[in-house]
């Protein structure tokens, strides 16, 4: 389990093969899809794909990624890759930050150094963290996997062992979004005594996939007995998360054959989520930049990790979440929550979101320490609104050190 320094390098052979595949793409027709009613628009996708195949400078990106210190360790037979940035302050506390799908550790690159060395970015050195940003097992360089069944609950146990046994911390803090929020919440449920506390972007129920129609995520967020007028308003909002959940919770392997073979297909499937879930107003390239989107796609392509990453959804079904205790609140670790305006449900504004949440039944499941809402940002908040995330992480743990 001894961590080893790790340098990211993609061979020329892999890059040459990628370019060949992109330039030999057999493009489907895309009639009457200027409004994206049928999915990812081909006229929008083609220039992005052509940039990937002919202009994108992976070597420059690789150098930027390698400006951070990377490590790999094996935990319970699972390879775990992570960035570690030592804290610079009088008493840094360890903080593990977890991404989701279809994201990567690189979503957090803007917040790592400000959290580790706040004084260098105009902050208080007393807020310093020893920052650990891993790739989830089965994602990116936390591959290849030698066994199936690596659900978020299993990843929770691996994270706890990574932080306490491999890295030797008595206690640590945790933050996460998407699957990272789900994983971080389970840390707060199962391992509260090992934690200073947790911070999450939005709220993801621990039992999200435990319902009867698990492939229909609206069943979790919009119960079937919801009044018709409420359903009519909210269903278009949640349908942005329907297609990937349905396929990936039922047949992730079937999908993977196409995505493993076609970089352009994988780019479209992944980037559709960034467009729909980010605060993009429909223009994902303007919102995130072409090179970030291509870097994110590269981290799936060159590690051949698309297939193992999407199995998280199926494994959430095959291995349903089970509570570790029946105490209340369910998540006992002190909790901070950040809400971002791009994910405001219909009828809820940034101004009233905190109050509505605090008065909801969902809030009773957390040992709430801090809740805040910001107007800008969507599902990928660490990248979209890094300063809000930095400020809220600091505020969450300031009284817990």
The tens digit of pLDDT for each residue in 54-85 reads: 999 999 999 999 999 999 999 999 999 999 99
Q: Can you give the pLDDT at residue 227?
A: 78
Domain 4-29+36-398: CATH architecture, name and number where available:
3-Layer(aba) Sandwich (3.40)
Q: Can you give the pLDDT at residue 401?
A: 82
Give the three-class secondary structure for 176. strand
Looking at residues 240-260, what average pLDDT do you find? 96
Task: Using CA atoms of 228, 231, 232, 233 in order, give the dihedral in degrees to the nearest 10.
Answer: 130
Of 75-89, 160-174, 224-238, 334-348, the range with the lowest mean pLDDT is: 224-238
Express as a percent the part of the chain with pLDDT over 90.
89
Q: Which residues, listed in sequence order, are joined to residue 175 by a DSSP beta bridge? A: 97, 199
- Is the confidence at residue 223, as pLDDT, over 70? no
Residue with tokens 């980037």: 271
- Is the confidence at residue 225, as pLDDT, over 70? no
pLDDT per position as a tens digit, 331-388: 999 999 999 999 998 888 999 999 999 999 999 999 999 999 999 999 999 999 999 9
Residue 336: which of 229, 181, 220 has the closest Cα? 181
What the block records as the tokens of 394 is 């600091």
Task: Using CA atoms of 304, 79, 7, 1 in order, give the dihedral in degrees to the nearest 10.
Answer: -170
Q: Distance (Å, rounded) from C-alpha 203 to C-alpha 308?
A: 24
Q: Distance (Å, rounded) from C-alpha 4 to C-alpha 291?
A: 29
- Is the confidence at residue 139, as pLDDT, over 90? yes
> Do 1 and 70 meet the contact criterion of CB atoms below 8 Å apart?
no
Q: Distance (Å, rounded) from C-alpha 280 to C-alpha 273?
A: 11
- Confidence class for position 211, pLDDT limits 50, 70, 90: confident
**Rg value, the chain, Cα:** 20
Looking at residues 84-99, what average pLDDT do you find? 98
- Is the confidence at residue 238, as pLDDT, over 90? no
Which position has the higher pLDDT, 131 or 237? 131
- What are the sequence ranges of the domains in the chain? 4-29+36-398
Give the three-class secondary structure for 316. helix
């Amino acid at each position: 389990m001894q961590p080893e320094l790790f340098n990211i390098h993609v061979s020329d052979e892999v890059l040459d093969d990628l370019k060949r595949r992109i330039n030999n793409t057999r493009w489907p027709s895309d009639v009457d899809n200027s409004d994206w009613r049928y999915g990812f628009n081909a006229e929008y996708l083609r220039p992005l794909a052509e940039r990937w195949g002919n202009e994108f400078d992976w070597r420059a990106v690789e150098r930027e990624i390698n400006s951070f210190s990377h490590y790999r360790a094996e935990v319970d037979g699972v390879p775990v890759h992570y960035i570690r940035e030592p804290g610079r302050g009088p008493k840094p506390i360890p903080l593990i930050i977890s991404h989701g799908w279809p994201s990567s550790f690189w979503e957090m690159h803007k917040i790592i150094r400000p959290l580790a060395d706040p004084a260098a970015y105009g902050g208080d050195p007393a807020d310093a963290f020893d920052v650990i940003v891993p790739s989830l097992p089965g994602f990116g360089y936390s591959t290849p996997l030698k066994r199936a069944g690596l659900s978020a609950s299993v990843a929770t146990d691996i994270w706890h062992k990574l932080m306490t046994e491999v890295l030797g911390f008595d206690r640590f803090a945790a933050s996460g979004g998407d699957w990272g929020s789900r994983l971080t919440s389970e840390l707060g449920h199962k391992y509260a005594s090992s934690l200073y506390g947790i911070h999450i972007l939005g709220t993801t129920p621990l039992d999200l996939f435990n319902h009867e129609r698990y492939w229909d995520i609206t069943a979790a967020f919009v119960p079937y007995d919801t009044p018709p007028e409420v359903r009519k308003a909210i269903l278009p909002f949640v349908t942005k998360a329907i297609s990937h959940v349905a396929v990936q919770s039922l047949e992730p392997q079937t999908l993977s054959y196409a995505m493993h073979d076609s970089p352009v297909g994988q780019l479209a499937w992944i980037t559709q989520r960034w467009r729909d879930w980010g605060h993009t107003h429909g223009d994902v390239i303007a919102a995130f930049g072409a090179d970030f989107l291509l870097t994110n796609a590269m981290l799936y392509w060159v590690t051949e990790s698309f297939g193992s990453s999407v199995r998280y959804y199926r494994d959430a079904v095959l291995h349903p979440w089970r509570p570790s205790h029946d105490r209340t609140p369910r998540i006992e670790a002190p909790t901070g929550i950040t809400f971002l305006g791009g994910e405001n449900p219909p009828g809820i504004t940034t101004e009233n979101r905190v109050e509505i949440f605090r008065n909801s039944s969902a809030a009773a499941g957390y040992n709430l320490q801090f809740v805040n809402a910001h107007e800008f940002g969507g599902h990928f908040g660490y990248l979209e609104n890094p300063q809000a995330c930095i400020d809220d992480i600091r505020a969450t743990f300031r009284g817990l050190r």
